């Protein structure tokens, strides 16, 4: 199978194994729907990125974008591996603290950041990456400190890339970052406030692949030029440039693996030839957690309606990517993985919504090996933007999460209960 990876996802005797453990056994032990993460795979992904830079003696600071998956155990795993954190809300910052990250390893990059957010962030002492001139002006009123800050800029039209138009974060109709024509204002306001601009940041979008690497690398050029411009404006050297996140993973057989070496070499060569002497930072989320997570669900209804429908015990409240972005997620029939006799099904969730399906849209059926009621299905590549975007819509509780660590598995989040869901209402 195109998605098999030794030691992570394997097929033996027609059965699916995750990190050497039977998918069915995991489903039986912990119940479904169940997110299963493989620690080994998370570390492999992190190390692959790190090593690609080290090959060129280029140190890189990897800020894990915890929005992709903020389970404490995932965070602890990456903390121990030496990761930094990209946090996008005050409570993400505090979650990173609880996972043991020191403030020196956390950078906050927010959007539509309120004064309340800023007050809370100032209390934490984490590094602030600034998204708007307004933020600089308001920060100045909220603190007497001469802060070190960085600027998130928007490299402009044609610089964005992403798996969906809503995940492209550079360009004109985009809320993120400070556009080129406002950079001087930002520098001026920072000067007035007594803040030191020590870094520059770009993030062009999420989930881009090999064909987007040239676009990314041309944004790297622009960002390096902008870094020089800021150095001239401030009269000070920048200590880091952050090229953001976004490297994608193949969700389908036809998508290619992300060219990690081409990406790292491209950044390295551009930095080297520019003469800029700044630490390089990146902020991957999906690349690290994406393929390390699998969502296990159970088929409860297999029936010929107008079309053959397989109903499962999860919905877009559990994994929103297909419904929200029309994204393809590979579905594996865990007890009958490589049967060549296939049938086309609509794999549908348990929410009262017509669009609650696990295919790209409800008119697309998926050819799968025969599915029986009680069968376990694995939705692959669910480790990033899976649980972290889950909700309790239809009063369906958040699923449990399990981490496989070598020969053992452990629960890292228990399944939610009705009491959990109602706590904030019943305690008022
Ligand atoms: C500022 C920032 N950095 C990093 C990321 C991580 O993106 P990805 O998970 O695609 O690497 C995002 C996500 O959109 C982001 O907004």
Q: What is the pLDDT of residue 291?
A: 98
CATH number for 138: 3.20.20.10
Model confidence at 116: pLDDT above 90: yes
Asked if 138 and 277 sit in the same domain, the reply is yes
Q: Which domain holds residue 179?
A: 110-284
Question: In CATH, what number is assigned to the domain containing residue 316?
Answer: 2.40.37.10
Give residues with Cβ within 8 angstroms of 186, minimum separation 6.
Answer: 130, 133, 136, 151, 178, 197
> Token match 């992709």: residue?
68
The verdict on 173 and 258 lying in the same domain is yes
Q: Which tokens in the block code for residue 189?
A: 């306001």
Residues forming the active site: 352
> For a pocket test of ligand 1, which of 48, 61, 65, 288 has the largest count of ligand atoms closer than 8 A to its C-beta?
65
The model's pLDDT over 379-414, given as tens digits with 9 standing for 90+, comes to 999 999 999 999 999 999 999 999 999 999 999 999
- Look at residues 23, 382, 325, 369 and name the one whose alpha carbon lies nearest to residue 347: 369
Q: Is the CB of 109 under 6 A from ligand 1?
A: yes
- Ligand 1 centroid to 206 CA: how many Å? 6
Cβ of 68 closer than 6 Å to ligand 1, yes or no, is yes
Q: Does any ligand 1 atom lie closer than 6 A to the CB of residue 245?
A: yes
Give residue-wise pLDDT tens across range 117-144. Answer: 999 999 999 999 999 999 999 999 999 9
15: CA distance to ligand 1 center in Å? 34
| Distance in Å, CA 29 to ligand 1 centroid | 34
For the chain, state the CA radius of gyration: 23
Q: Are 58 and 264 in contact (CB under 8 A)?
A: yes
Domain co-membership, 343 together with 387: yes
Is there a single domain that holds both residue 295 and residue 402?
A: yes
- CB of 375 within 6 A of ligand 1: the answer is no
Q: Domain ends where: 250, 284, 318?
A: 284
User: Among 109, 163, 203, which is best to mutate for testing ligand 1, by the most ligand atoms less than 8 A from CB?
Assistant: 203
pLDDT in tens, 149-180: 999 999 998 899 999 999 999 999 999 999 99
Q: What is the pLDDT of residue 96?
A: 98
Question: pLDDT digits over 343-367, tens only?
Answer: 999 999 999 999 999 998 899 999 9
Look at residue 408 in the predicted model and tell me its pLDDT. Answer: 98
The average confidence (pLDDT) of the chain is 97
* 57 has a pLDDT exceeding 90: no
Q: Which two tokens stand for residue 397?
A: 């509780």
Q: Is the CB of 284 under 6 A from ligand 1?
A: yes
Instruction: Give the span between the Cα atoms of 428 and 401, in whole angstroms.
Output: 29
> What's the number of domains the chain is made of?
2
Q: Is the pLDDT of residue 58 over 90?
A: no
Query: What's the 338 CA to ligand 1 centre distance in angstroms?
Result: 35
DSSP H helices in 275-358: 286-289, 321-325
Q: Are residues 416 and 267 in the same domain?
A: no
- Alpha carbon separation from 339 to 15, 133, 332 (Å, rounded): 10, 58, 11
- Asked if residue 221 belongs to a domain, the reply is yes
C-alpha of residue 210 to centroid of ligand 1, in Å: 17
Summarised one tens digit per residue, pLDDT across range 268-322 is 999 999 999 999 999 999 999 999 999 999 999 999 999 999 999 999 999 999 9
Question: Does 177 fall in a domain?
Answer: yes
């Amino acid at each position: 199978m195109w998605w098999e990876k030794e030691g992570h996802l394997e097929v033996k005797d027609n059965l699916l194994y995750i990190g050497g453990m039977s998918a069915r056994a995991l489903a039986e032990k912990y119940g479904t729907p169940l997110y299963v993460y493989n620690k080994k795979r998370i570390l492999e992904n992190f190390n692959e990125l790190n090593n690609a830079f080290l090959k060129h003696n280029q140190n890189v600071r990897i800020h894990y974008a915890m929005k992709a998956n903020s389970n404490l155990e995932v965070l602890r795993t990456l903390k121990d591996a030496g990761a930094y954190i990209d946090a996008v809300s005050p409570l993400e910052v505090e979650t990173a603290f609880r996972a043991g990250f020191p403030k020196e390893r956390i950078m906050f990059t927010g959007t539509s950041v309120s004064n309340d957010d800023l007050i809370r962030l100032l209390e934490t002492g984490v590094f602030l990456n600034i998204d708007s001139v307004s933020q600089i002006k308001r920060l100045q009123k909220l603190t007497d400190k001469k802060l070190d800050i960085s600027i998130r800029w928007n490299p402009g039209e044609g610089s964005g890339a992403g798996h969906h138009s809503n995940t492209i974060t550079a360009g004109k109709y985009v809320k993120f970052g400070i556009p080129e024509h406002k950079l001087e204002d930002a520098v001026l306001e920072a000067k007035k406030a007594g803040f030191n601009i020590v870094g520059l940041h770009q993030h062009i979008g999420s989930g881009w692949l090999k064909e987007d690497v040239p676009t990314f690398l041309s944004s790297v050029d622009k960002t390096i030029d902008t870094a020089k411009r800021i150095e001239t404006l401030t009269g000070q050297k920048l200590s880091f440039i952050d090229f953001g996140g976004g490297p994608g993973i193949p969700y389908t057989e036809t998508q290619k693996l992300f060219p990690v070496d081409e990406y790292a070499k491209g950044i390295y060569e551009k930095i080297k030839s520019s003469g800029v002497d700044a630490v390089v930072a990146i902020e991957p989320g999906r690349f690290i957690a994406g393929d390390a997570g699998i969502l296990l669900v159970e088929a409860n209804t297999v029936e010929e309606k107008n079309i053959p429908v397989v109903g499962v015990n999860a919905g877009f409240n559990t994994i929103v990517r297909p419904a929200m972005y029309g994204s393809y997620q590979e579905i594996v029939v865990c007890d009958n993985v490589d049967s060549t006799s296939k049938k086309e099904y609509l794999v549908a969730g348990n929410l009262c919504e017509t669009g609650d399906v696990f295919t790209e849209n409800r008119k697309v059926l998926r050819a799968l090996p025969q599915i029986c009621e009680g069968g376990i299905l694995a939705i692959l590549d669910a480790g990033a933007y899976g649980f972290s975007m889950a909700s309790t819509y239809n009063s369906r509780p958040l699923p449990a999460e399990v981490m496989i660590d070598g020969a053992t598995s452990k629960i890292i989040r228990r399944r939610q209960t009705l009491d959990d869901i109602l706590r904030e209402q019943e305690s008022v």
